[in-house]
Amino acid sequence: METVSDRTVEPVRRRRGGRVVAGVAGGVAEHLGVEVFWVRAVFAALTALNGVGVIAYGLLWLFVPQRPVGSPEPDEQPRERQQALGLVALGIAAAALSGLLTGPLSGWIAGPLAVALVGAAVVWREADEAQRRRWRDGARSGFLGAGRTGLIRVVAGVALVAVGIGVLLINSYGLDQIRFALLAVVATLGGVAVLTVPLWIKLINDLGEERRVRIRTEERAEIAAHLHDSVLQTLALIQKQAEQPREVRRLARGQERQLRDWLYGREVGEAGKPTTLSAAVARAAGEVEDTFALTVSQVVVGDCDLDHNLLAMVQAAREAMVNAAKHAGVAEISVYGEVEPEQVAVFVRDRGKGFDPDLVSADRHGLADSIRGRMDRHGGEVRLRTAPGEGTEVQLRMPRKTEAGT
Amino acid sequence: MTVRVFLVDDHALFRAGVRAELDSITDEIEVVGEAGSVGEAVAGIARHRPDVVLLDVHMPDGGGAEVLRQVRTALPEVVFLALSVSDAAEDVIAVIRAGARGYVTKTISSQELVRAVVRVAEGDAVFSPRLAGFVLDAFADRPGAAPISDPELDLLTPRERDVLRLLARGYAYKEIASELFISVKTVETHVSSVLRKTQLSNRYELSRWASDRRLV
Residue A201 shares a structural domain with residue A256 = no
Percent of chain B beyond pLDDT 90? 22
Structural domain containing residue A307: 245-399
Asked whether the beta carbons of residue A336 and residue B65 sit closer than 8 angstroms, the reply is: no
* CA diameter of chain A: 116
Query: Can you give the pLDDT at residue A365?
Result: 59
Residue A236 domain-assigned (yes or no): no
Residue A60 shares a structural domain with residue A114: yes
Report chain A residues whose CB lies below 8 A from the CB of B165: 336, 338
- Interchain CB contact of B146 with A (< 8 Å): no
Better-predicted residue by pLDDT, A90 or B158: B158
pLDDT given for residue B79 in this prediction: 92
Q: Is the pLDDT of residue B131 over 50?
A: yes
Q: Is the pLDDT of residue A142 over 60?
A: no
| Residue A210 sits in the same domain as residue A274 | no
The beta-carbon neighbor of B216 closest among A2, A266, A302 is A302
**What is the rounded CA–CA span in Å between residue A334 and residue A347?**
8
End residue of a domain, out of A193, A215, A237:
A215
Q: Is residue A2 part of a domain?
A: no
Which residue of A1, A264, A297 is in closest CB contact with B206? A1
DSSP lists the bridge partners of residue A399 as A343
Confidence of residue B206 (pLDDT cuts 50, 70, 90): very low
Residues A343 and A394 in one domain: yes
Between helix A36-48 and helix A24-32 the angle, nearest 10°, is 120
Residues of A in contact with B169 (CB under 8 A): 334, 336, 347, 349, 393
Among A172, A196, A215, identify where a domain stops: A215
Residue pair A305/A344 in contact by the 8 Å Cβ criterion: no
Q: Which residue has the higher pLDDT, A9 or A346?
A: A346
- Do the Cβ atoms of A314 and A345 come closer than 8 Å? no
Chain B contact set for A336 (CB, 8 A):
129, 133, 165, 168-170
Instruction: Examine the pLDDT at A3 and tell me if it is beyond 50.
Output: no
* A13-55: pLDDT as tens digits: 787 777 777 788 888 887 787 788 888 888 877 777 766 777 7
Q: What integer pLDDT is reported at residue A102 of this predicted model?
A: 58
Do the Cβ atoms of B97 and A1 come within 8 Å? yes
Residues of A within 8 A of B206 (CB-CB) are 1
CB contacts of B88 in chain A (<8 Å) are: 264
Name the β-bridge partners of B31: B5
Residues of chain A in contact with residue B129, where contact means CB-CB under 8 angstroms, are 297, 299, 334, 336
Residue A83 in any domain: the answer is yes
Task: Grade residue B208 by pLDDT with cuts at 50, 70 and 90.
Answer: very low
Comparison of pLDDT for B159 and A161, the residue scoring more: B159
Contact A254, A308 (CB under 8 A): no
CATH class of domain segment(s) B126-216: mainly alpha
Burial class of residue A216, CB neighbours in 10 A (0-12, 13-18, 19+): exposed
The edge-to-edge listing of strands for the beta sheet with B79-84 is B29-35, B3-8, B52-56, B79-84, B102-105, B126-127
Residues 6+ apart with CB under 8 A from A113: A164, A168
**pLDDT at residue A121 tops 90:** no
C-alpha pair distances (Å), A231 with each of A224, A238, A269, A351, A368? 10, 10, 17, 32, 40
pLDDT in tens, A66-76: 776 666 666 66
> What are the domain boundaries of chain B?
1-123, 126-216
A275 interfacial to chain B (CB closer than 8 Å): no
Same domain for A167 and A259, yes or no, is no
Give the Cα separation of A133 and A140 in Å (integer): 9
Contact B97/A2, CB-based, under 8 Å?
Answer: yes
Q: In the predicted model, is pLDDT for residue B156 greater than 70?
A: yes
| β-sheet bridge partners, residue A394 | A348, A384
Q: Are residues A262 and A161 in the same domain?
A: no
pLDDT over 80 (residue A194)? no
Residue A231 lies in a domain: no
Residue among A142, A136, A117, A146 at smallest CA distance from A202: A142
B94 touches chain A (CB under 8 A): yes
User: CB neighbours (10 Å) of residue A290?
Assistant: 14
Q: Would you say A21 and A57 are in contact if contact means Cβ atoms under 8 Å apart?
A: yes
Would residue A184 be called left, alpha or beta, if left means φ above 0 and alpha means ψ between -120 and 50 degrees?
alpha
Cα B173 to Cα B177: distance, rounded to the nearest angstrom: 6
- Is residue A41 located within the same domain as residue A125? yes
Whether pLDDT at A79 is above 60: yes
Element (H, E) at B214: none
| Closest to A396 measured CA to CA, from A329, A331, A339 | A339
Q: Which residues of A are less than 8 Å from B98 in CB distance?
A: 2
**Which has more confidence, A406 or A151?**
A151
In a domain, A225, yes or no: no
Please give the pLDDT value at position A103. Answer: 53
Is pLDDT at A187 greater than 90 in this prediction?
A: no
A17: in domain: no
Q: Does B129 touch chain A (CB under 8 A)?
A: yes
How far apart, in Å, are the Cα atoms of A22 and each of A16, A67, A70, A374? 8, 11, 18, 76
Query: Could you tell me the pLDDT band of residue B26, with boundaries at 50, 70 and 90?
Result: confident
Residue A395, class by beta-carbon neighbours within 10 Å (0-12 exposed, 13-18 middle, 19+ buried)?
Answer: middle
Nearest residue of A to residue B131, measured between CA atoms: A299
Number of domains in chain A: 2
Backbone φ, ψ for residue B210 (5° rounding): -60, -40
A residues 318..347 contacting B (CB < 8 A):
334, 336, 338-339, 341, 347
Most confident of A6-10, A357-361, B175-179: B175-179
Distance from CA of B1 to the nearest CA of A (A): 30
How far, in Å, CA of A89 to CA of A28, rounded? 20
| Closest partner CB to B137 (pick from A264, A276, A301) | A301
Mean pLDDT of A216-238: 81
Report the range out of A167-171, A220-224, A370-374 with the highest average pLDDT: A370-374
Give the rounded percent of residues in chain A with a pLDDT score beyond 70.
80
Closest CA to B128 of A268, A227, A332: A332
pTM over 0.90: no
pLDDT (tens digit per residue) in A195-226: 777 778 778 878 888 888 888 888 888 877 77
User: How far, CA to CA in Å, does A93 sit from each of A40, A49, A87, A99, A119?
Assistant: 15, 12, 10, 10, 18
CATH code: domain of residue A387: 3.30.565.10
The pLDDT of residue B145 is above 70:
no
- Residue A117: count of CB within 10 angstroms of its CB: 18
Query: Model confidence over B106-124: pLDDT tens digits?
Result: 878 888 889 899 989 988 8
Of B94, B107, B168, the CB nearest to A301: B168
- Range of lowest pLDDT (A153-157, A233-237, A295-299, A356-360): A356-360
Q: Which residue in chain B has the smallest CA separation from A394?
A: B169
Contact predicate A303/A277, CB 8 Å? yes
Torsion angles phi and psi, residue A167, rounded to 5: -60, -40
In angstroms, the CA A16 to CA A322 distance is 68
Question: Where a domain ends, among A163, A194, A215?
Answer: A215
User: Which residues of chain A does B133 touch, with a Cβ-Cβ cutoff of 8 Å?
Assistant: 299-301, 336
A127: Cβ contacts below 8 Å, ≥ 6 apart: A143, A198, A199, A201, A202
Among residues of chain A, what percentage have pLDDT more than 90?
Answer: 6
- Same domain for A271 and A158: no
Lowest mean pLDDT among A272-276, B7-11, B64-68: A272-276
Amino acid A335: pLDDT: 93
Q: Is A276 helix (H, G, I), strand (E, B) or coil?
A: strand
Do residues B173 and B188 touch, judged by C-beta distance below 8 A?
A: yes
A173 and A55 in a common domain:
yes
- The topology under which CATH files domain B1-123 is Rossmann fold (3.40.50)
A325 contact partners, CB below 8 Å, separation of at least 6 = A288, A291, A292, A294, A333
C-alpha–C-alpha distance, residues B49 and A130, integer Å: 54
